[in-house]
Amino acid sequence: MSQWSIIGKGILTPDKFIKKAGMVIDDGIIEKIDSHSSFTVEADGIIVPGFINSHDHLIGNYYPKVGNGPYENWLPWDNDLKSSPIYEERQQIENRDLYLLAGYRNLLSGVTTISDHIPHFVHEPFLDIMPIKVLRNYALAHSVVSFALIWGDDISVEYQKAAKEKVPFITHSGEGFDDETIHDIDTLERLGALGEYTVLIHGIAFNENDIKRIKKAGASVVWCGDSNMFMFNKTANIKLMLAYGVNVCIGTDSPMSGGENLLHEIKFDRKLYKKLFNEELSDETIVRMITVNPSYAFKLSDHGSINPGNVADFVVISRTEDNPYSAVVNAQLEDIALVVINGKPMYGDSYYKRLFDYHKVKYQEIVLRNKQKIVVGDLLGLLRRISKVVGYKKEFPFIPVEFDI
């Protein structure tokens, strides 16, 4: 019963769009394109690769935003965060439930894989209970500066580990304007940590020379426009990065500084690009920033695109537009009709109940913005637990589902 197929209005691979196409999934892998099996689901929408959120701190997922920027770097924001009443409220909640909250926040927006930038020992106890996939194999540093949090071994050691194991080396970089932060690329080069495995988060301080060196090294940059503008009132020079051919991805950061979810983030970033550079950032470019670009950055060669042999992570978007890339970028939460991870349904419209039943996936019925949905696990129980702990009905704009306490 592991083999099944789905047929939609089209498949956005995303290198091309195949109209009225379907695909066969077998044992969690895409077996064939434009074909079908004995158990077939007809989808009223387009099929797109599962989205990859390239930067978040899952244990920090809460609401609302906290801060009074613009800041010089991340540290004064962190101090404001940890002295705030909302942080005190968040600290009452078990880490398990904060991780589940983050998982559902991302799942409901079509995310199938996420990079949780945190030391491994923090999130490892929760990875197997998450409703989405969390990147497991990576090396890291918190940041490059002397006042960085101590995450992992020395930067040079972490990068060598990444290169040996062919996994990403992830670090905040160029996140601010102090005398150290503006020289992050110099520091990374000196330590031998700027290369094809390097993933640089934010990059606000990068100048043209930095960007040239990033491109030459084959490193990637993650853009978190909403978080950047909230904390610093400035963001990375994405136009220049794209002009030089840098591999740019999009991340949300946590909702305590960044976007509500990935669907919100891509719309915010598109508007921000237009405001800053007085030209459009194409929807196709944005779609690549949440699919194939992060698959390169995080060395997930079998993710990020719909091709035979790849992992069957995909989303059905019910929104109808002439341009399929625009349908993705303009999609709202209610337009996420189905999310499949490793070939199994995890969230979707109630229309797909037979698919959940076929895979014997236990699900819960929910109402999201007046639309009947089904989701794996116990999302309503999670929201009730959080509300009980904090002492009032805690509602989150990124999980707009009906529940009582």
Q: Which of 299, 333, 342 is nearest to 108 (CA)?
A: 333
Distance separating alpha carbons of residues 24 and 198, to the nearest angstrom: 35
What is the pLDDT, as a whole number, of residue 2? Answer: 81
Give the residue extent of every domain in the chain: 3-50+305-361, 58-297
Mean pLDDT of 232-249: 98
Does position 35 have pLDDT exceeding 80, yes or no? no
Contact by Cβ (8 Å): 202, 174: yes
3-state secondary structure of 12: strand
Does position 65 have pLDDT exceeding 60, yes or no? yes
Distances (CA, A) of 331 to 66, 266, 280, 337: 27, 10, 18, 10
Contact by Cβ (8 Å): 54, 298: yes
**Assigned token pair, 19:** 């109209």
Does position 95 have pLDDT exceeding 60, yes or no? yes
Q: Which of 88, 96, 153 is nearest to 119 (CA)?
A: 153
Does position 1 have pLDDT exceeding 70, yes or no? no
Residue 114: its H or E element: strand 111-116
* Alpha-carbon dihedral sign for residues 164, 342, 53, 266: positive
Distance separating alpha carbons of residues 76 and 68, to the nearest angstrom: 10
Mean pLDDT of 9-23: 95
The CA-based diameter of the chain, rounded to the nearest angstrom, is 63
Distance separating alpha carbons of residues 209 and 222, to the nearest angstrom: 18
Alpha helices in 9-119 (DSSP H): 74-82, 85-90, 95-107
Residue 181: its H or E element: none
The DSSP bridge pattern shows strands 29-33 and 22-26 to be antiparallel
What's the one-letter identity of residue 59?
I
Region 3-50+305-361: CATH code: 2.30.40.10
β-sheet bridge partners, residue 7: 22, 42
Q: Which of 329, 250, 363, 327 is nearest to 45 (CA)?
A: 327
Mean pLDDT of 371-381: 98
Does position 215 have pLDDT exceeding 80, yes or no? yes
CA angle 86, 92, 98 (to 5 degrees): 85
Distances (CA, A) of 103 to 98, 142, 281, 350: 9, 22, 28, 20
Distance separating alpha carbons of residues 176 and 174, to the nearest angstrom: 6
Distance separating alpha carbons of residues 49 and 57, to the nearest angstrom: 23
CA angle 357, 363, 366 (to 5 degrees): 125
Mean pLDDT of 60-87: 97
Its CATH class, for the domain covering 58-297, is alpha beta
Mean pLDDT of 92-115: 98
What tens digit of pLDDT does each residue of 309-337 get?
A: 999 999 999 998 999 999 999 999 999 99
Give the model's confidence band at 230: pLDDT under 50 very low, under 70 low, under 90 confident, else very high: very high
Contact by Cβ (8 Å): 151, 141: yes
Does position 258 have pLDDT exceeding 70, yes or no? yes
What is the pLDDT, as a whole number, of residue 396? Answer: 98
Question: DSSP code of 281?
Answer: P
**Per DSSP, which regions of 224-359 are E strands?**
247-250, 314-317, 336-341, 344-349
Distance separating alpha carbons of residues 11 and 306, to the nearest angstrom: 8
Q: Which of 282, 218, 283, 290 is nearest to 252 (CA)?
A: 290
Does position 394 have pLDDT exceeding 80, yes or no? yes
What's the whole-number average pLDDT of the chain? 97
What tens digit of pLDDT does each residue of 154-205 get?
A: 999 999 999 999 999 999 999 999 999 999 999 999 999 999 999 999 999 9
